[in-house]
Structure 1
Amino acid sequence: MTGMIVVGDYDPRWPERFEDLRQRLAPHVADLAVSIEHVGSTAVPGCAAKPIIDLDIVVAEDATMPALISRLTEQGYRHEGDLGIPGREAFQAPPAAPEHHLYSVVTGSRPHLDHVLLRDYLRQRPDEVRRYSALKVALAQRFRADCQGRRDYSRAKSVLVEELVAKSYVARAAGEP
């Protein structure tokens, strides 16, 4: 892939794509998972995003991870480790599956809360969604869709992401959605 990173307007079909992926995964992990969550920008109505669904398989405790990793591997997923985020396990989707990012987290852990609190915070704040979307669109025009470009894109948006995550924790502490 040598073109530019693609960030497009919100697609109202993204929740359906998530549900399709959730239904594909659920039979294989239902006895291990607390939930399967739609996270990331595609889970926020109105948010510009790369057209790739992000999912979290949420488990009750870390001791469940080896069994979950084994089950997902049997389904063709490739375990990629934590990719630098302790407490979150990442998986590469099988080649024949629709493109998506799959993670596993322990309920209530920092990686789990970062994902769901940010999602829920943005769902309630269209002004922040517009701000975040504008940054992502601008950055996508600057970086190529190769490994280095994707890393640079992620780094460039990380300051705003960290700010929004911090605001989501403050909102949670204040009892706000």
Structure 2
Amino acid sequence: MPTAEEITRHDDGVPPDGLSPWVGDYRPRTGIEVVDPDPAWPERFAELRARVESALGDRALAVEHVGSTSVPGLPAKPIIDIDLIVADPADEPSYVTALEETGFRLVVREPWWQEHRCFTHDDPKCNLHVFPPDAAEPVRHRIFRDWLLGHPDDLALYRDAKRSAAAASNASGEHVMEYNARKQAVIREIYDRAFRAAGLLT
């Protein structure tokens, strides 16, 4: 279990000099699409979770729906975000091929940032984030999701930030990482409120 300090630390995960997180020819895409909430998103997650669990069996220690599509009423990019916990993400032979055989593609490798790996999936569209059991980021994701579920004012604040960031990024021809950066201040403001309410931050 990560410490309170690890959970509340805002870490950008900047790669060390000379290293890139991208696998092969994959690069972040431009054209940010933020759509109205879709009641089918939980069903898409259930389908993807079944694929992951079928591929990995008990190697999938947890499979959790996170991100904006996990929050009813919140606009989002129509891409399901999932956190997958495995015993050791650095042991790629134990899970990469099995996931690739069911339609996932490894696109990000960040051993310097909580051993994070990310896969994409085209149908349904998905970002599958892989972390070890002691990583802080999946805990942060759950705290953020659950806070928005219970705090409509912050849900509205984040909704407006997402739409504004998407419009600005599209107007400037920016990719998804730059879109994320435009939302960052609002995200961290909401995180800090949630952390204080949980007694993790004073």
TM-score, structure 1 length as denominator?
Answer: 0.82
Q: Say whether 1:71 aligns with 2:98.
A: yes
Residue 194 of structure 2 aligns with an amino acid whose one-letter code is S
Q: Say whether 1:41 aligns with 2:46.
A: no
Residue 10 of structure 1 aligns with an amino acid whose one-letter code is P
Superposed CA deviations along residues 105-157 of structure 1, whole A, max 9, x for unmatched, are 22342111111111111111111001000111112112229983322211100
Q: Which ranges in structure 1 are unaligned for 5 or more consecutive residues?
A: none
Choose the corresponding residue for 1:7, options 34, 54, 66: 34
Match of 2:6 in 1: none
Match of 1:150 in 2: 176
Q: Aligned equivalents of 2:134 and 2:37: distance in 1?
A: 28
Residue 189 of structure 2 aligns with an amino acid whose one-letter code is E
Match of 1:137 in 2: 163
Residues 138 and 65 (structure 1), Cα distance of their counterparts in 2 relative to 1, 3 Å cut = same
Query: Percent identity at matched positions?
Result: 32
Match of 1:126 in 2: 152
Match of 1:173 in 2: 199
Q: Aligned equivalents of 2:76 and 2:111: distance in 1?
A: 21
Q: Aligned equivalents of 2:196 and 2:134: distance in 1?
A: 16
Match of 1:100 in 2: 126
Match of 1:109 in 2: 135
Match of 1:88 in 2: 116
Q: Aligned equivalents of 1:76 and 1:19: distance in 2?
A: 15
TM-score, structure 2 length as denominator?
Answer: 0.73
Residue 43 of structure 1 aligns with an amino acid whose one-letter code is S
Q: Which ranges in structure 2 are unaligned for 5 or more consecutive residues?
A: 1-28
Please say which of residues 164-173 and 145-154 is displaced more in the overlay: 145-154
Residues 19 and 164 (structure 1), Cα distance of their counterparts in 2 relative to 1, 3 Å cut = same
> What RMSD in Å do the two structures reach over aligned CA positions?
2.6
Superposed CA deviations along residues 74-122 of structure 1, whole A, max 9, x for unmatched, are 43433221297433211132x5x32111111223421111111111111
